[in-house]
Amino acid sequence: MRLLVSFVCLSLHAQTYSNTANKPGWDSVLTSLGLVATDSADAKVLVGATAVTPGKLVVLEGHSALAASLGITPSGQQVEIRQIRDTASPELPIVWQSPLLIDQATVDAAWTVRARDRWSNSPVLATRSGAIWTATPIGQSGYERYPFLPQALLAAGLDAPVRAQGLWAFFDAGFRQRADLRHLVTQWKAAGLGGIHVTSWQFDDASPERAAWLKNLIDLCHENLIVVYAWVELPHVSEHFWQQYPQCRERTASGMEASLDWRRLMTLVDPKCSQLAEDNILALLRRFDWDGVNLGELYFESLEGHLNPARFTPFHDSVRAEYKQLHGRDPLDDLKRDGLATLLEYRANLAARLQSDWLAKLEVIRRERPGFDIVVTHIDDRFDTRMRDALGADAARILRSTEGQETGFLVEDPATVWHLGPARYREIRKRYESLTSEHARLSIDINIVDRYQDVYPTRRQTGAELAQLVHEAAAAFDQVALYFEYSLRPVDLPLLGLAAARLTAWRQSNDGVEVTLAAPAMVRWQGPALVNGIPWPLADGAHLHLPAGNWRIERAAAYPVNRIVDLNVRLEGVELAQGEYTIRYTSRTTGTLLVETALGRERRTLPRGGGVFTLSAKPLPFSVESNSVQLRPQR
């Protein structure tokens, strides 16, 4: 007998779930979206439910009495499923590693079918308000069959109210020449991106129009409190530099000019060529209003190392002369004979020397601009130890040499491990913790690209897999970067902030919410709030900004007379005493606050590094004093 079940339009503020049925994969999917597991009746998402509960989202797999009562019934035929199409990205092939034979389903009109078998058109994923159904179990990882489960959950009414901000993304301007920049920046802000690393080499000989385009991009980012880094890819300087100085072109072991993929590699060993590159880079950094610079991948091609002489560098005449002076023989001879170990050690030493030299050159800009940040992107050679010989990369050496210099260190996972699961980021973190006492400067770069390995169900990380990658990376590192902005699917942007949030506990009642955060986050909250009994001064009307800690959120009668509606620093603590808020923060760059008073909204800056600023609880305008910044009544 079919049950008559009525659903109302559901917008479910769900931060808890229950998987008492132990359905594989769902814990990974839901925790990666910021939900917290619970066995209590407070759970808002029920996996393997046997009955519909008002105000809950039920998760159904395959055929069951509950599925039948909701309008999903067997058709009486079987079908083998191997490849599906999902409405989230209908052009994307989704291929299962192993086919499954299933009982074909018929779904009634109350459901929206989101994925079908490519060949039979059989429904395999469907949603309705307050319910989601899959034709099969979703698999152990949670993404091997239905990559777009997160998007389906959102369509079914999931509305997780906690999200992180401050993610980084690499930005290739060449892919966005015709984009509406204001719309693009607005998308980034909504997705939780707090920093963009821009391909600086595309602007070293920019026309006035091209320079104006970059200036507009930087201005729009700053307007939205997004910081902008110049992404430098030495020994590639720029296409213009390559054409202008052919005598400086690097060479491979095969004797060819080192024009490899999109990079045009230049020698940085020849003093004249190095000075030309330095003049070029520093002029570019001074020309635009950058917040920092990312010195990326300053070592040598290629991942195949000496086994592929056509990509193996550096063999410019200046390098060969230096090597001969050091070792009494040509490096090409050592490549072909018994001196390979000596040659590989020389490359690693040279890469470390160049990195040190260029970090010293970039310090010139930091001395000119005290709020300027310097970050090194360095391929991982601790998790995949083959990278040192392949590229000359030595992470331990550069970490030791930059200790105490306030240089950020962005670990890039190499292509050789892109097929491994999200748990690899915790393992990568372990390899680096012993290399520096300054753990806060460690960050991770997730490569969102088409992988060359045999991977399922999609070649590029998307949906549930991407959410798990971001979630695990954010749990292991305070700063997460994504390579790159253009490779992210638009349907994935709403997942980023949810996945990066580090929520450990959530309890909701009629009069408020109790939340525990392992890192700062934004909590959706309409109107004014009391947080741990304090009228909360970090609120934009729709969200509260909270540091890590245990917080009780309740309704308040009114906002504080002065409040911060947006900021791009990392909150470390908030206190209220004697009519004044004391707020602790850290920041890699000069920070920005958007403050609202009775006089309107104003932008204020905070020194790079961190400290405290104070905010008056009295209805008077602000003043700012440097070092320990004070936002307080004017006398």
Whether residue 382 contacts residue 434, with contact meaning beta carbons closer than 8 Å, is answered with: no
Question: Which of 482, 500, 518 represents a domain boundary (last residue)?
Answer: 500
In a domain, 2, yes or no: no
The pLDDT tens digits of the residues spanning 65-85 come to 999 999 999 999 999 999 999
Q: CATH number for the domain including 318?
A: 3.20.20.80
Same domain, residue pair 302 and 274: yes
The per-residue pLDDT for 421 is 87
Is residue 391 scored above 90 in pLDDT? Answer: yes
Q: What is the share, in percent, of the chain residues with pLDDT greater than 70?
A: 95
Same domain, residue pair 355 and 242: yes
In a domain, 5, yes or no: no
Same domain, residue pair 496 and 519: no
Give residue 177's domain range.
163-500
Is residue 11 scored above 70 in pLDDT? Answer: no
In a domain, 602, yes or no: yes
The per-residue pLDDT for 133 is 98
In one letter, which amino acid is 118? R
Q: CATH number for the domain including 119?
A: 3.40.50.880
Is residue 531 scored above 80 in pLDDT? Answer: yes
Q: What is the share, in percent, of the chain residues with pLDDT greater than 90?
A: 89
Same domain, residue pair 480 and 602: no
Residue 483's nearest CA partner among 270, 189, 169 is: 169
Question: Which of 471, 500, 529 represents a domain boundary (last residue)?
Answer: 500
Question: What is the reported pTM?
Answer: 0.94
Same domain, residue pair 98 and 196: no
The per-residue pLDDT for 1 is 29
Task: Choose the weakest-confidence range: 94-98, 213-217, 303-307, 312-316.
Answer: 303-307
Q: Which position has the higher pLDDT, 417 or 429?
A: 429
In a domain, 519, yes or no: yes
Q: For all residues of the chain together, what is the average pLDDT?
A: 93
Same domain, residue pair 232 and 119: no
The pLDDT tens digits of the residues spanning 258-313 come to 999 999 999 999 999 999 999 999 999 999 999 999 999 999 988 899 999 999 99
In a domain, 272, yes or no: yes
Same domain, residue pair 213 and 114: no
Helix (H) or strand (E) holding 155: helix 149-155
Same domain, residue pair 453 and 523: no
Same domain, residue pair 291 and 195: yes
Helix (H) or strand (E) holding 55: none
Same domain, residue pair 306 and 248: yes
The pLDDT tens digits of the residues spanning 138-196 come to 999 999 999 999 999 999 999 999 999 999 999 999 999 999 999 999 999 999 999 99
Question: Which of 120, 138, 160 represents a domain boundary (last residue)?
Answer: 160
The per-residue pLDDT for 301 is 83
Whether residue 452 contacts residue 415, with contact meaning beta carbons closer than 8 Å, is answered with: yes
Assign 39 a pLDDT band (cuts: 50, 70, 90).
confident
The pLDDT tens digits of the residues spanning 567-599 come to 999 999 999 999 999 999 999 999 999 999 988
Whether residue 33 contacts residue 467, with contact meaning beta carbons closer than 8 Å, is answered with: yes
Cα–Cα distance for residue pair 403/399, rounded to 1 Å: 6
Same domain, residue pair 156 and 206: no
Same domain, residue pair 324 and 389: yes
In a domain, 1, yes or no: no
In a domain, 559, yes or no: yes
Is residue 625 scored above 70 in pLDDT? Answer: no
In a domain, 74, yes or no: yes
Is residue 8 scored above 80 in pLDDT? Answer: no
The per-residue pLDDT for 583 is 97
Q: Which two tokens stand for residue 280?
A: 């070029």
Total tally of structural domains belonging to the chain: 3
Give the phi and the psi of residue 249 in degrees, each rounded to 5. Answer: -70, 130
